[in-house]
Structure 1
Amino acid sequence: MMKIFGLYFAAPSPTEMSELDSEQTVSKHKPRAAFFKWYSVFMTVLSGLNVARYLPSFWVGVDFVPHLTVSRVTMICWIVQCFLYRLFLLRACWSSHRLPEYFNFFDQLMTDSCCIHLKPSCMKSRRFLVVIITLVWLVIVLVSASGIFYMATDVEPEYMVTICNPFPDKTGVKIAFLIFHTIEIGAWTFPVAFLVTLFRILGDAFSSYTNELCKITKDERAQFWEKMEDIRVKHLQLCKAMTILNRDTKYLITVNFTTGIFLVCFNLYQMVATNSAIHVLGYVRFSFWLVLNFSFMTSLSVTAANVNEKAHSPLEYIFDVEMDDVSRSESLQLQLFLSKLNGPAIGFTVMGLITITKELILTLAGLVLTYFFLLLQFNI
């Protein structure tokens, strides 16, 4: 579905090409992959031009309307966020050493049954994916319907001026920008859903690994030390998969956090400020922005923090292992495994600077709540 909005493309790997039925099928598959590739490039360029056309709206415009600075700041931040999502996803899909490498490596990891066979619940993953896609389409439909409502009724004409500026506020311009606005809503929601799904699947893989390790330590203690090296290597492979994925997700997470925190705080300020005369529908719109941005940051943070927790979860079982009659090589394998688990935090990062953990979520929540109560206290 991300291909519809020009957010994703994937050239078939050599393995997939070898599995295609005939040369005729291959010849049909290649042009389709090339189309989605250049369609993604086109939509990214168009999104960048959208940022460029909106910047002058702060001081010029055919239908320039003053006193819309707040709406324009919110809109330009959102437009930049959509453009950066497109740009970094294009970068991730373009090179075979990024997302394609992760998918190939993860597929090999899941099919490798050496020592520990990872068996995450496919049914749960499918249900989760259905729920995520349903919510995304619900957001797209709601935003599109609200745009049509504003255009048809002129209840709050400033809304369409905010979208169309600096171009004239005509019917044809409204329709064109409303369609593109709907497409950009997909560029805003689907990258977050994509990351949340990837994090959930990887977290399930770590959870499956821990469950299998628990069975070995409790039911197959005699074989534990024979499998110690394979157990450690399997965990390292999962960590490597996460590292490959983090090469691109760190940029998308950074975009989500920086723009999301700014939009949440800015909308809070606008809603709490007593000296701001906002229409009732304006409060509804700002509340909608606030809830969605906060929900996106929360869902992304929780699923990423879950990967961190699951990656370190083998510790509680390793500490219960009996050390009687352990050889030097087996003891060395255990020490290497413990050093990995007790070392730097394993997880997804914000530009490689901060690992997303549950503690970070509490810090961000505390930041927003402190800002909110400060606004109320000083009655700004």
Structure 2
Amino acid sequence: MHRTRIKNDCKEFINKNGLCTEGQGHGQDADDNGNHAVTVELEPRTSREYNDYTGMEIYRQLRPLLICMRMFGLFFKRTTFRGRNNKPQMEVIVLYCFIVNFLMVMNVLRSFTVYRVADEFDNVLVQRLLFTIWSTECTFKGLLLMWNCYKQNGLPKFFHEWDNTCGNVKLNKMCRFMMKKFLFLTFIFIIFNSVVFSLILVYVPILKNIYLEVVWKNAVMYEDHAIFKTILGILAVLNSSSSMFPVSLFVVLSFAVGEQLKKFTDDLATAIADDDFNGRIEDFRLRHQSLVTLVDILDRIFAPMIAAVFIANIPMFCLVLYTMVTTIDIHISLVLINLFWLCFILLQMTIVSVTAAWVNGKAHSPLDHIYSIRFSATSNDVQLQMLLFLNRLTGTQIGLTAMKMFVIDKPTILTVAGMMVTYFVLLIQFKMPVSADCHCNMTGTVFLNNATLIVSQIS
């Protein structure tokens, strides 16, 4: 009896503490008398929970975009081994990402060495300023993306939260279309920007001298320009990829979350139409809160990038516009390049602003349906849940921000657009030519003591 009780106690201890799995780590060994005893492993089994998000549906759907980002050193996978050591497991490609971002940081530092105190505010200085601002913006985007690939509450947190909230829901046709379109636009921009710089350095001597001065101080004085042209071509590729791929990922993830918010609003409207909302109000409120959590995670990841887009692109817009006004008679290629950059700046700011404002609108869209519900005959519990729901929708703005300074909504777009139009008008008036020739007719009489001078015409 005592032997049986000991065996049962051992089995209960083993099962409770997870020392081994079934058929592993314990067994019944026969002794010399033919009796069976339980063999227990004294070393507990390591819990091998592998926190891997690469098998999730959302990751598989985004794989084309993520593979392209890996090619340019902008994405790597980080998974966590949940065991004794709890060490993060990262791909070997993280070293390649580190090298790419290191080169971009060194490029930003190099861009500050081309300035001198005695420099005049001419076309060369304007191009230096443009290249410094753009390189800083692109480097910041690349470092931000690499940091969010590494930290657990970055992109890994988003993938896990999406899996907990949406499960194996596939991206709809709109999200897949946006991903394909932005991949196409990104590669077009990288190729076009690199080819344009190459053609300038070969066929346009005036602009070649300007852009060589952007790479290195007094680079025109050197006999061999091949190394400077190579550096400029490599930097064009790295900056172009770091400028577009983070924006592409931001748009695709925002559209994915926005579509889930739109589906939530449709389900809410259907439940209200079927008089099935009051009994499920708590479920709807918690479901909306889960989607808001996804928006908050996206905001933690991309809020610095949104702020960088606004901070960098507004002065770039002013500088490019100033260059277009002042250098329109230098060379047609410079006008075309400035027009291209002006379109790119406006397009990037429009994409980021409109996408963020669209998410903000979808997050608050249930209000239009909730205000049409009658709650006079409902219980206090239902009214309390509705009050919590309304406070969440109206108390604070839900959406993507620029470093938590302001939520981007439709009025924000109008404010930024009005500011840029104001700058445009001021620059045009500032550079409006004033004619120095004056043609006028004047007739009069001038009395000088006793003499009379008749002035008939002055031109």
Which TM-score applies when normalising by structure 2?
Answer: 0.72
2 CA distance for matches of 1:271 and 1:279? 11
C-alpha contact 2:307 2:403 (8 A) present in aligned 1:
yes
Q: What SS does the aligned partner of 1:223 have?
A: coil
Q: 2:229 aligns with which of 155, 159, 174?
A: 174
Equivalent position of 1:340 in the other structure: 392
C-alpha contact 2:124 2:214 (8 A) present in aligned 1:
no
Deviation at 1:250, TM superposition (A): 0.8
C-alpha contact 1:199 1:307 (8 A) present in aligned 2:
yes
Q: 1:54 aligns with which of 72, 92, 111?
A: 111
Equivalent position of 2:322 in the other structure: 269
Equivalent position of 1:309 in the other structure: 361
2 CA distance for matches of 1:128 and 1:13? 31
Equivalent position of 2:373 in the other structure: 321
Superposition pairs of residues 231-242 of structure 1, within 5 angstroms? 231-242=284-295
Equivalent position of 1:205 in the other structure: 260
How many residue pairs get matched?
A: 352
Are residues 1:164 and 2:231 paired?
Answer: no
Q: 1:145 aligns with which of 174, 185, 195?
A: 195
Equivalent position of 1:187 in the other structure: 242
Equivalent position of 1:26 in the other structure: none
Superposition pairs of residues 2-13 of structure 1, within 5 angstroms? 2-12=69-79
Q: What amino acid is aligned across from residue 191 of structure 1 in structure 2? A: P
C-alpha contact 1:120 1:204 (8 A) present in aligned 2:
no
Deviation at 1:327, TM superposition (A): 0.9
Q: What amino acid is aligned across from residue 353 of structure 1 in structure 2? A: M
Q: What amino acid is aligned across from residue 4 of structure 1 in structure 2? A: M
Are residues 1:353 and 2:405 paired?
Answer: yes
Equivalent position of 1:298 in the other structure: 350
Superposition pairs of residues 277-288 of structure 1, within 5 angstroms? 278-288=330-340
C-alpha contact 1:8 1:93 (8 A) present in aligned 2:
yes
Gapped runs of 5+ residues in structure 2? Answer: 1-67, 433-459
C-alpha contact 2:80 2:88 (8 A) present in aligned 1:
no
C-alpha contact 1:260 1:293 (8 A) present in aligned 2:
yes
2 CA distance for matches of 1:312 and 1:31? 38
Are residues 1:247 and 2:300 paired?
Answer: yes
Q: What amino acid is aligned across from residue 198 of structure 2 in structure 1? A: I
Q: What amino acid is aligned across from residue 111 of structure 2 in structure 1? A: Y
C-alpha contact 2:69 2:245 (8 A) present in aligned 1:
yes
Deviation at 1:193, TM superposition (A): 1.4
Deviation at 1:38, TM superposition (A): 2.1
Q: 2:91 aligns with which of 18, 34, 38?
A: 34
Q: What SS does the aligned partner of 1:230 have?
A: helix
1 CA distance for matches of 2:287 and 2:213? 53
Are residues 1:98 and 2:154 paired?
Answer: yes
1 CA distance for matches of 2:369 and 2:81? 40
Equivalent position of 2:178 in the other structure: 128
2 CA distance for matches of 1:378 and 1:159? 24
2 CA distance for matches of 1:174 and 1:210? 54
- Percent of matched pairs sharing the same residue: 30
2 CA distance for matches of 1:162 and 1:231? 60
Relative distance call for 1:317 and 1:31 in structure 2 (3 A) is closer
C-alpha contact 1:271 1:283 (8 A) present in aligned 2:
yes
Q: 2:313 aligns with which of 249, 260, 272?
A: 260
2 CA distance for matches of 1:323 and 1:79? 56
2 CA distance for matches of 1:148 and 1:78? 18
Q: What amino acid is aligned across from residue 93 of structure 1 in structure 2? A: C
2 CA distance for matches of 1:80 and 1:277? 30
2 CA distance for matches of 1:120 and 1:368? 39
1 CA distance for matches of 2:143 and 2:299? 16
Q: What amino acid is aligned across from residue 128 of structure 2 in structure 1? A: R
Q: What SS does the aligned partner of 1:354 have?
A: coil
C-alpha contact 2:80 2:89 (8 A) present in aligned 1:
no
Deviation at 1:324, TM superposition (A): 4.2
Cα displacement string for residues 57-101 of structure 1 (whole angstroms, at most 9, x for unaligned residues): 1239xxxxx851011111111111111111211221111112210
Superposition pairs of residues 78-93 of structure 1, within 5 angstroms? 78-93=134-149
Cα displacement string for residues 179-210 of structure 1 (whole angstroms, at most 9, x for unaligned residues): 23212211111111111222111111111111
Relative distance call for 1:309 and 1:120 in structure 2 (3 A) is farther
Relative distance call for 1:32 and 1:353 in structure 2 (3 A) is closer
C-alpha contact 1:120 1:205 (8 A) present in aligned 2:
no
Deviation at 1:14, TM superposition (A): 6.1
Relative distance call for 1:195 and 1:287 in structure 2 (3 A) is same
Relative distance call for 1:247 and 1:287 in structure 2 (3 A) is same
Relative distance call for 1:97 and 1:337 in structure 2 (3 A) is same
Relative distance call for 1:203 and 1:13 in structure 2 (3 A) is farther
Equivalent position of 2:44 in the other structure: none
Gapped runs of 5+ residues in structure 1? Answer: 16-29, 61-65, 113-118
Are residues 1:225 and 2:282 paired?
Answer: no
1 CA distance for matches of 2:271 and 2:81? 37
Cα displacement string for residues 316-368 of structure 1 (whole angstroms, at most 9, x for unaligned residues): 11111222431111110001101111111111111101100000000000000
C-alpha contact 2:310 2:349 (8 A) present in aligned 1:
yes
Deviation at 1:151, TM superposition (A): 2.5
Return the structure number with greater strand share. Answer: 2
Return the structure number with greater helix share. Answer: 1
